[in-house]
Structure 1
């Protein structure tokens, strides 16, 4: 299991604490120091079953600088969004946990963190991956 964090983020600290309390084995990725590639983001989005705009922090100054508010949210602009996230990792929602079984979750709530620690029913989803 891997958790992508910004150490200055309280939600990231809370998620790490919950993983520790559960005795989970995980690695920490400080994604601002080790930004994901566009290919990694594409794979992550597939695991999350989300689109890039779903995990974009649109209130960040970089989002305003890029004019993200005016970008279309469709298949034709998907690559542009992914490239923006790869080039400006501060725009990526946090924390994100990727599990060894191929699932992933935007872990902004305790429930989302706990969902990645439990075994889902066969064929069932782990949790609502929607960022909050």
Structure 2
């Protein structure tokens, strides 16, 4: 299992605490220090069945000056902009060992991913 976190984020700390309590082994990726590549972010989005604007943090996107149309023609532009500005990526993103990937911001989603191990 892998979790993309910002250590300053309370939801990330809750997620890692839950993984620890469940005894699940996982790898932490501090994605602000080690941003995903375009290919990695594209793969994560594809596994979630989402477009990049669905996992973009609104305030951070605005601060970064990302003002792109939310359509298929601009999907790759969004991905490139988010990789260049990793603070814009929602967190925590958790990938279970079976490849299931979620943004684990709520208790229900976090519980489901913990159950997958």
TM-score (norm. length: structure 1): 0.83
Kindly tell me the number of residue pairs found equivalent between the two proteins: 116
**2:18 and 2:114 in contact (8 A); partners too:** no
Q: Does 1:92 align with 2:89?
A: yes
The equivalent position to 1:102 in structure 2, one of 96, 99, 104, is 99
Match of 1:33 in 2: 33
User: How far did 1:26 drift?
Assistant: 0.4
**CA–CA distance in structure 2, aligned partners of residues 65 and 32 of structure 1:** 14
State the Cα RMSD in Å: 1.2
Match of 1:10 in 2: 10
Unaligned 5+ runs, structure 2: none
Segments ≥4 residues shifted beyond 6 Å = none
* Higher percent of residues as helix: 2
Q: Which moved more, 1:106-115 or 1:1-10?
A: 106-115
User: How far did 1:109 drift?
Assistant: 1.1
Q: Tell which structure's C-alpha radius of gyration is larger.
A: 1
Unaligned 5+ runs, structure 1: 120-132
Match of 2:73 in 1: 76
TM-score (norm. length: structure 2): 0.94
